[in-house]
Amino acid sequence: QKEVEQNSGPLSVPEGAIASLNCTYSDRGSQSFFWYRQYSGKSPELIMFIYSNGDKEDGRFTAQLNKASQYVSLLIRDSQPSDSATYLCAVTGNQFYFGTGTSLTVIP
Amino acid sequence: ETGVTQTPRHLVMGMTNKKSLKCEQHLGHNAMYWYKQSAKKPLELMFVYSLEERVENNSVPSRFSPECPNSSHLFLHLHTLQPEDSALYLCASSQEPSGRGWGYEQFFGPGTRLTVL
């Protein structure tokens, strides 16, 4: 079983729509959860982190954490073509684990 | 310089060559990491240094040898690599309150694209 699982996509949404990215993790002791964005040929950049159950909002981005279900998600409202990238979920427990990423394409 | 820098950005080497990758962080962090990113695979953690001591070595082949002379610099020495070692090598840093080596957000450098012929 992979430590962190993401749907690899690709996920396509029209401009202005809500993009929903999902991530599940296996270690119940995981404490910190991160979403990174990686443009093609570039390094990952942190866009959100969440430590507590519930929602955390930052601009157009909302991270949602449900520790009981071992599930973390990222919602992107009013999606823009510039949001087209691969989104990596990362979880810390005994180690820092990354998922394989979900490729998002926002269609103008 | 700001953030995390890596040199070189691109490297092509033969299987018998010896080369080194360099990483420098300008964030005052106390932990540094080497990752390997291959196509269609998750980021693979290779080495972690916390307070200049290696705290993680994820069964990485001995042809990869890390060095951390101080909290701002990290090297990855390469020798007798294989074609399957071709990948993007990413350096990251973070500030860990306990010096344990993980838990807080990591900041990545731009990476070195390595091709082994």
**pLDDT per position as a tens digit, B51-72:** 777 777 668 999 999 999 999 9
Please tell me which residue, B41 or A52, carries the higher pLDDT value: A52
CA-wise closest residue to A4 among A96, A103, A104: A96
Restricting to B residues 75-114, those with a Cβ less than 8 Å away from any Cβ of A are 90, 102-111
Residue B9 scores a pLDDT above 60: yes
The pLDDT confidence band at residue B98, using thresholds 50, 70 and 90, is low
| A and B: number of Cβ contacts within 8 A | 42
* B22-B27-B29 Cα angle (round to 5): 85
Using a CB–CB cutoff of 8 Å, tell me whether A100 touches chain B.
Answer: yes
- Per-residue confidence in pLDDT tens, chain A, 108 aa: 678 999 878 999 999 999 999 999 998 888 889 999 999 888 999 999 998 899 999 999 999 999 999 999 999 999 999 999 999 999 987 677 889 899 999 999
pLDDT at B105: 83
Q: Which residue has the higher pLDDT, B75 or B50?
A: B75
